[in-house]
Amino acid sequence: MAPLLSIKNLHVSFHTYAGKVHAVRGIDLTVERGETLAIVGESGSGKSVTSKAIFGLLPKHNASIEHGEIWFDGQDLLTLNKKEMQRIRGSEIGVVFQDPMTALNPTMKVGKQVVEGAMKHRKLSKKEAYDLAIELFELVGIPNPEVRIHQYPHEFSGGMRQRVVIAMALACKPKLLIADEPTTALDVTIQAQILDLLREIQQKTGTAIIFITHDLGVVANIADSVAVMYAGKIVEKGKVEEIFHEPIHPYTWGLIQSVPNMETKGKLYAIPGSPPDLLKPPKGDAFAPRNEYALAIDYEKQPPTYQVSDTHFAATWLLHPQAPKINYQKKIAEQLHDEEDNKVKDNDVLLKVNNLKKYFNLPSKQVLKAVDGVNIEIKKGETFGLVGESGCGKSTTGRTIIGLYEPTEGDIIYDNQPVNERNRGAFHQKIQMIFQDPYASLNPRKKVEDIIAEGLDIHGLVQNKQERQERVQQLLEAVGLQPDHAQRFPHEFSGGQRQRIGIARALAVEPELIIADEPISALDVSIQAQVVNLLKDLQKERELTYLFIAHDLSMVKYISNRIGVMYLGVIVEMAEADELYKNPLHPYTQALLSSVPLPDPHVEKTRERIILEGGLPSPVDPPRGCRFRTRCPLATEKCLEAPQWREAEKGHWVACHYA
Amino acid sequence: MKEQTKQLEEQHEIFPDEMFEIVGRKEDESEKINKPVLSNWQDGWLRLKQNKAAIVSLFVIFIIVFLSFVGPYFNEYSYDQTDYDNVYSEPSKEHWLGTDKFGRDQWTRLWEGTRISLYIAVLAAVLDIMIGITYGAISAWKGGRVDNIMQRIIEVLVGIPNLIIIILLIMWMSPGIMTIMLAMVITGWVNMARLVRGQVFKLKTQEYVLASRALGASTSRIILGHMLPNTFGIIIINLMFTIPSAIFTEAFLSFIGLGLQEPLASLGVLINDGYHAMRNQFYLLAYPAIVIVALMVSFNLLADGLRDAFDPRMRK
């Protein structure tokens, strides 16, 4: 039988004022009925553009499909007119977008939104539409559908909204569902719920899914087959086991290596550099300049696609009969394991935070308790990881420690000196911060030189222009950038390069403690490893202490010596990284650990998960007693009392009655 | 079939062996930025250049400004020099654009008037900006109660009709350039203050401002070094929209007799003059009208072009 969807030699380009951007450069792809195909790639690799081309949603004014065919169920979608395409969209192909907050119309009842398409395409009566809405809500697991369909989107939480969006896409029983990063905007515990749901739906309805993502853990969890995209081309495709266990293309291979799992030690494998500019795509293999094993021919000629097995294809010259055989598994194992982690000995305590509270007064006269009694001790030279879902107060904690917010209550003691409003100035040089969004954290009107030197200027650390210039050059070098970058403006850099500029700015004043507030969550996978390695190297060279704030548990586990898990303004568990991973005591930590998708299809498809119900309660009115009790599988009456913060085992602190 | 064989051929094409040597990565290449250094202003100028209407407007404005300065010196007449033998003469070699009811040379008066109108408009706009930026920035930076009070003051000011303020002012002071400018500035800065306030509010929570605070930067450093440079685009765009509206206000006030008085010339005064002689000497009205239309259209088109080129919200 013919596949459900087959794309042949598709080329898409965008016309911008700077020239033509070749976003998709000739891809071939097939999707069988009922299978889940994951398209993986970094930002700008053309994965979303491909999905939009299938769906006919490319912006008309500047995008053009230059070449290619998209066959869906026996017709070429690119030859259809607007009306015919409208019929296909919504009735044959459904779509789930990334951000559930903007995908729903806020002024329309959700029930109506869900069946709107179906009413038009299938000409349902009011009664039938109502029944359908209830059925769909049940299918996507929204409790109380009779009540919920009459509500508006703002009455739903993020995870619930994404369920509504999925219900909307399923309303016409599509043969193909395109999900464009459907879980990227969600927290891990919610992500686990949604992935479960998608799998369940596929079993029930037999629809095929194209799942677009950059997260390899998610791919391992949900995909049957995988296509890896790089610079507008598919570099490798195959069954999920083939891609994860026998990757052929050096890019796929590097990508899988650069994601830490819970056991990764030593140095992370990082792919250096950044993806190429598709305004002027390179002549040969686009990945060659970043490829350790690039052949001379890679710089000259684009590799053809070779077939490795019935289902496994890869486009690399390494498969040519004349090419040398490389066993990367072994090579890398050598590189990675010759380094030993140096444990932090019992150093002095550098930062001590006692009962820190930060409340915000809302205009509605309510009080938002973002941080509500946090105790942390960080030793000199260690990395303390702070994890939690969005809204748990981890960023607020970091910002209060560095003084961007005044604490409502509690003490911050740095190097045995209490920090308060009056002596705050003395600590600016000792504590520094790295921010999350590399696009918002650099002033777009300033040259890189002035950005990095700002701290030097403020504290008068350099005498003259020449010294200033030299210092900036040194710092650029320390973070792996080139000296001539000093004269450029931030918008000319890629995300990873910008983040390194941000790190250089923090390093300029030679701080002792660096608070890294989600420093890698806005970066691509291959770039994350670069930045994490850089942070580790700098720590070793300069004896830095880190407070590493993130929501990605496997990355935190990899980089940290000790970890604190935050939930709704309080720390619920704190222990050494390995101990926390092997022996989690708090039910929230256990659930969090089991929700993290790991980049290994065998593990992912067999392990048992603890799926938490519902979402994070509002920090304006947190549950009484133990804050986790509303979602906790173990909760009893006793949890109405606040649990004590106690040392369950040596160095392992927890706040739970049943741990 | 054909395709397949072609593919197979491609896959097994023989190349010289040295093509398959491992040369490794070219790290320098992957970190290199090949584009020329481009500041935000240069980038904006590149965009502006592609907007034909804006470039033509820029050219028109340039010519009008140029003529308004040198135009009066092209002949020997001065703007208030009367010649009762030659009243209402048609355009001729002697008087290029004819003469008005007192025999004053229209060419000289037209450019003199344009200059004064522009002078009033630009000065009023600049004053607006200075007051507006200061007020808006303080209001947003302090926030809370201060902001609340400052915004209520603005609302009261907006509530009073403009014309009443102007009439009162003219009753109190003598009509002239200063008076009319003051009248425009008293309420004109409000828009600018609101705009800057909004912008500073947004920038206050930007990560680069937080980073600067974390480094220990003083308030003045943050406002002057981070906030203002990032508001400039919007300020200039607004300036370009304020100037034509100020030109129009001045013309309107002069036309209804509340503005400049003869023998001083301004576009409004000239239009008022021309209006009285419209039946027989239409050209007396036409010239200032053409200039004011050209100025207003050009400034508005240019401002539009600048907004497209500089306003980040218009990007992508």
B131-166 tens-digit pLDDT: 999 999 889 888 888 889 999 999 988 888 878 888
Map tokens 């990395």 to a residue. Answer: A383
Other C-beta atoms lying within 10 Å of the C-beta of residue A427: 20
C-alpha distances in Å from residue A643, one per residue of A173, A387, A652, B22: 48, 20, 15, 61
Nearest 10 degrees: Cα torsion B119, B120, B126, B131: 160
Contact B21/A at CB under 8 A: yes
Residue in chain B nearest A483 by alpha carbon: B32
What residues of chain B lie within 8 A of the CB of A504, using their CB? none
247-266 of B, contacting A, C-beta below 8 A: none
Q: Can you give the pLDDT at residue A419? A: 86
Map tokens 């539409």 to a residue. Answer: A129
Q: Nearest Cα to A577, choosing from A550, A609, A601, A611? A: A550
The domain spans of chain A are 5-92+172-328, 103-171, 349-430+512-654, 445-510
Task: Tell me the C-alpha distance between B232 and B236, whole Å.
Answer: 6
Q: Can you give the pLDDT at residue A338? A: 47
Residue A586 or B2, more confident: A586
Cross-chain Cβ contact A290/B25 below 8 Å: yes
Count the residues in chain B: 316
A349-430+512-654, CATH topology level: Rossmann fold (3.40.50)
Assign B311 a pLDDT band (cuts: 50, 70, 90).
low
Other C-beta atoms lying within 10 Å of the C-beta of residue A477: 12
Contact B39/A at CB under 8 A: yes
In A59-94, which positions are buried (b, 16+ CB within 10 angstroms) versus exposed (e)?
A: eeeebebeebebbbeeeebbebeeeebeebbbbbbb
Q: First-to-last CA distance in chain B?
A: 44
Given the DSSP bridges, would you call strands A570-576 and A562-567 parallel, antiparallel or unpaired?
Answer: antiparallel
In the three-class reduction of DSSP (H, G, I as helix; E, B as strand; rest coil), residue B59 is classed as: helix
Structural domains in chain B, sorted by start? 67-73+84-314 (1.10.3720.10)
Cross-chain Cβ contact A428/B214 below 8 Å: yes
Asked if pLDDT for residue B314 goes beyond 50, the answer is no
Cross-chain Cβ contact B11/A272 below 8 Å: no
Task: Tell me the C-alpha distance between A314 and B237, whole Å.
Answer: 52
Q: Can you give the pLDDT at residue A444? A: 85
What residues of chain A lie within 8 A of the CB of B50, using their CB? 17
Task: Tell me the C-alpha distance between B13 and A321, whole Å.
Answer: 9
A459 and A429 Cβ atoms separated by less than 8 Å: yes
Which of A288-297, A404-413, B27-36, B77-86 bottoms out in mean pLDDT, i.e. has the lowest?
A: B27-36
Map tokens 């470039």 to a residue. Answer: B55
Q: Nearest Cα to A177, choosing from A33, A76, A380, A41? A: A33
C-alpha distances in Å from residue B24, one per residue of A3, A228, A246, A289, B15: 39, 22, 22, 8, 19
Asked if pLDDT for residue B16 goes beyond 80, the answer is no
What residues of chain A lie within 8 A of the CB of B11, using their CB? 304, 306, 320
Task: Tell me the C-alpha distance between A241 and A226, whole Å.
Answer: 9
A315 and A241 Cβ atoms separated by less than 8 Å: no
Q: Can you give the pLDDT at residue A291? A: 83
What residues of chain B lie within 8 A of the CB of A425, using their CB? 216
Cross-chain Cβ contact B211/A481 below 8 Å: no
Assign B2 a pLDDT band (cuts: 50, 70, 90).
low
Instruction: Determine if the pTM surpasses 0.90.
Output: no
Contact B5/A at CB under 8 A: no
Q: Can you give the pLDDT at residue B316? A: 37
User: How far apart are the CA of A89 and the nearest CA of chain B, in angstroms?
Assistant: 26
Cross-chain Cβ contact B29/A289 below 8 Å: yes
209-238 of B, contacting A, C-beta below 8 A: 210-218, 221, 225-226, 229-230, 232
Task: Tell me the C-alpha distance between A539 and A346, whole Å.
Answer: 17
In the three-class reduction of DSSP (H, G, I as helix; E, B as strand; rest coil), residue B128 is classed as: helix
Task: Identify the sign of the CA torsion B129, B132, B135, B137.
Answer: negative
A7 and A29 Cβ atoms separated by less than 8 Å: yes
Task: Tell me the C-alpha distance between B104 and A659, whole Å.
Answer: 99
What residues of chain B lie within 8 A of the CB of A488, using their CB? 33, 37
What value, to the nearest 5°, has the Cα angle with vertex A635 and ends A632 and A638?
145
Structure tokens at A563: 């970890």
Q: Residues A5-92+172-328: name the CATH superfamily.
A: P-loop containing nucleotide triphosphate hydrolases (3.40.50.300)
Q: Can you give the pLDDT at residue B1? A: 47
C-alpha distances in Å from residue A95, one per residue of A4, A167, B188, B233: 16, 10, 50, 39
**What pLDDT, in 10s, does the model give residues A344-397?**
566 788 999 999 999 988 877 888 888 988 999 999 889 999 998 888 888 899
Contact A65/B at CB under 8 A: no
413-432 of A, contacting B, C-beta below 8 A: 425, 428-429, 431-432
Contact B145/A at CB under 8 A: no
Q: Nearest Cα to A348, choosing from A386, A382, A375? A: A382
Which of A261-265, B2-6, B96-100, B211-215 bottoms out in mean pLDDT, i.e. has the lowest?
A: B2-6
User: How far apart are the CA of B52 and the nearest CA of chain A, in angstroms?
Assistant: 14
Task: Identify the sign of the CA torsion A576, A578, A579, A581.
Answer: positive
Residue-by-residue DSSP string for A416-484: TEE--TTTGGGGTTTEEEE-S-TTTSS-TTS-HHHHHHHHHHHTT--SSHHHHHHHHHHHHHHTT--GG
Q: Is the peptide bond before B263 cis (omega within 30 degrees of 0)?
A: yes
If you count residue pairs, one on A and one on B, with CB atoms under 8 Å apart, how many are there?
Answer: 155
For chain A, which ranges sit under pLDDT 70? 1, 327-346
Residue A598 or B28, more confident: A598
What residues of chain A lie within 8 A of the CB of B37, using their CB? 487-489, 492
Q: Comparing A5-92+172-328 with A349-430+512-654, is the CATH topology the same?
A: yes
A259 and A214 Cβ atoms separated by less than 8 Å: no
Q: What is the overall mean pLDDT for chain B?
A: 82
Task: Please write down the long-range contacts of A116-125, taking CB distance under 8 Å and 24 or more positions apart.
Answer: A116/A168, A117/A90, A117/A91, A117/A168, A117/A171, A117/A172, A118/A171, A118/A172, A120/A90, A121/A87, A121/A90, A121/A91, A121/A172, A122/A91, A122/A172
In the three-class reduction of DSSP (H, G, I as helix; E, B as strand; rest coil), residue A545 is classed as: strand
Task: Tell me the C-alpha distance between B312 and B2, whole Å.
Answer: 51
Assign B61 a pLDDT band (cuts: 50, 70, 90).
very high
Which of A268-277, A324-333, B115-124, B235-244 bottoms out in mean pLDDT, i.e. has the lowest?
A: A324-333
